Amino acid sequence: MTAGNKPVCGAKTRQEDSAEYCGLRAGWGTDHPGTGRCKLHGGKTPGQTIKAAHEIAEREVRAVLAELDVQPVDDPLTALAQLAGQVVAWQQAIAEIVNRIGDEVRYEGKAGAEQLRAEVGLYERAMDRTNTVLSTIARLDIDGRLARIEETKAQLLMDAVQAGLAAIGVTGEQAATVKQVMARKLRAVAA
């Protein structure tokens, strides 16, 4: 809820026969001012703190996305291969963080229960996502498809050059030499 342009808590008050809602500023008295419930309506509970953190992160992501010039994906195979690289890099970065915490994988929570550190959960999710993306690439034969696309592009380029040479009257041994040089250059670029 908002009052004017400032978000408010919006929790329903306990007054009987009243449809009143809390008008305090969202997150008032908490470590997440401007977001979520106020201190008087559970804003300091762990669940509300986490929910507010998610809302703040989502708001920041939406702001960044609004500033980006998002273009449609013209080549989904290459985009998926790039995503795989990012996912693997993320998984490796989280692995380094988990390796640094060493024996501190578990700790005592406020209630005395043993808990896993958040970094371990991040690492597990990163491994799952890496597996999902790499499995998708393997299942779809992305490398094979990309190779076939590049081969087709090279063949089209060779055909265009051959047609151009024929149009200007270059045939025979000269045309064969040009095709050989082009083939070597294309293989060098592909490598």
Give mean pLDDT, residues 8-28: 82
- Domain boundaries of the chain, sorted by first residue: 2-67, 76-140, 144-190
How many residues are recorded in the chain? Answer: 191
Tell me the CB-side half-sphere exposure of residue 53, using CA atoms within 13 A.
Answer: 8
Nearest to 39 by CA among 9, 17, 64, 3: 9
pLDDT in tens, 76-128: 878 888 889 999 999 999 888 878 776 665 656 665 545 566 777 888 888 99
Task: Report which DSSP code applies to 39.
Answer: G
Task: Report which DSSP code applies to 11.
Answer: P
Q: How far apart are CA 67 and CA 28, in angstroms?
A: 29
Question: How is residue 33 written in tokens?
Answer: 């001012």
Strands 6-7 and 106-108: unpaired
Whether the pTM exceeds 0.85: the reply is no
Write down the residue that tokens 């013209």 correspond to.
74
Q: How far apart are CA 107 and CA 90, in angstroms?
A: 24
